[in-house]
Amino acid sequence: MSTLEIKDLHVSIETEQGTKEILKGVSLTIKTGETHAIMGPNGSGKSTLASTIAGHPRYTVTSGSITLDGEDVLEMSVDERARAGVFLAMQYPVEVPGVTMTNFLRTAKTAIDGEAPALRTWTKDVKAAMQELRIDADFAQRNVNEGFSGGEKKRVEILQLELFKPKFAVLDETDSGLDVDALKVVSEGVNRAHSNGNMGTLLITHYTRILRYIKPDFVHVFVDGKVVEEGGPELADRLEEEGYDRYLSGAGAAVAPAAQA
């Protein structure tokens, strides 16, 4: 049983107009076996939270903490975080020229486990996971994400999730840009990884659509860098009907009470 704890996190970025605060005090606790959905309108800071957990250098933590079973995650380099068990499925996976998927997957698995995977079972595992996610076998020989469609890139992210078996998975808008079939395939992959009971999931999404396939235990609504409302799965249903308008229209003072709730 592991715990990923985010406490009063403040994050800013450098822009041409100067320093801009994006996260204004976020607190969240995720435990193994739990699925948390973070929902919110564009620009609310959802993806900033994801990138900050993974350690993207663009984001500066000005105060607050992130700990994994008590260990200070913010003190860790990007690769150390991954090896500690944090996985970020990226919103826009980059193409890495010159590195084949096969080579990449094996190198990453070796780094995460601290030893090279047994070649025979590993090849089999990769093949099986690719089949389940309906990724063509020839992708293994292609360069990482190079020339992949948006949907293919997302499937490859989930492939890594299944193979690397992290303690915590952060899915940054994995559902955006997917058609319904691809969404189902990807969701099944997440559910498979989750069903082993050794993973906590932080699912970041703009839409409620993916929550039909991945059932959250908790829903947090993000507006302007803060959690303004929290609840169970029923909150997602309400958002589906009402959208984010009621958080936005009132702005400022109107949402403040909810934030403190």
Partner 1 sequence: MTETTTEKARIGAPSAQPFIDGFTEEGENLSPINADGTVAAPSSGPLAGDSAKGHSHGGGVGVPDSSRAGRLTSYTLEDFKALTGLEEDWRFTPLRRLRGLHSDALTGAAPAVTVTAPDAVKVETVGRDDKRIGSAGIPEDRVSANAWANFTEATVITVPAETSLDSEVSVVLAGNGTEASAQHVVIVAEKFSKSVVVLGHEGTAVVSENVEIVVEDGAELTVVSLQEWNDDSVHASSQQAKVGRDAKFKHIAVSLGGNLVRVTPTARFAAPGGEVELFGLYFADAGQHLEHRTYVDHAQPNCVSNVLYKGALQGKDAHTVWVGDVLIQKQAEGTDSYEKNQNLVLTDGCRADSVPNLEIETGLIEGAGHASATGRFDDEHLFYLMARGIPEDVARRLVVRGFLNEIIQKIKVPALEERLTDAVERELAAGDN
- Integer CA distances (angstroms), 107 to 83, 104, 121, 173, in order: 12, 5, 15, 26
* Site for partner 1 contains 8 (CB under 8 A): no
* Site for partner 1 contains 98 (CB under 8 A): yes
CB of 56 to partner 1, least distance (A): 6
Residue 219 has what DSSP assignment? E
Interface pick for partner 1 out of 71, 72, 94, 254 (rule CB under 8 A) = 94
For partner 1, the closer of residues 65 and 100 by Cβ is 100
CB of 58 to partner 1, least distance (A): 9
Residue 143 has what DSSP assignment? B
CA 156 and chain centroid, separation:
14
* Site for partner 1 contains 252 (CB under 8 A): no
**Taking CA 51 as the corner, what is the angle to CA 6 and CA 250, rounded to the nearest 5 degrees?**
70
Strands (E), the chain: 3-15, 18-31, 35-39, 60-68, 71-72, 86-89, 168-172, 200-205, 218-223, 226-231
| Residue reference for tokens 């450098």 | 14
Binding range to partner 1, per CB under 8 A, among 26-34, 79-87, 174-182, 227-235: 79-87
CB 254 within 8 A of CB 245: no
For partner 1, the closer of residues 68 and 228 by Cβ is 68
* Site for partner 1 contains 107 (CB under 8 A): yes
Interface pick for partner 1 out of 78, 128, 254, 261 (rule CB under 8 A) = 78
Binding range to partner 1, per CB under 8 A, among 38-46, 102-110, 117-125, 191-199: 102-110
Residues between 19 and 58 that touch partner 1 (CB under 8 A) = 54-57
CB 143 within 8 A of CB 95: yes
* Site for partner 1 contains 82 (CB under 8 A): yes
Interface pick for partner 1 out of 59, 139, 148, 164 (rule CB under 8 A) = 164
In sequence order, what are the beta bridge partners of 222?
227
248: Cβ contacts below 8 Å, ≥ 6 apart: 41, 223
CB of 231 to partner 1, least distance (A): 30
For partner 1, the closer of residues 53 and 221 by Cβ is 53
* Residues found near partner 1 in the complex (CB under 8 A): 54-57, 77-79, 81-83, 88, 90, 93-94, 96-100, 103-104, 107-108, 111-112, 143-144, 160, 164
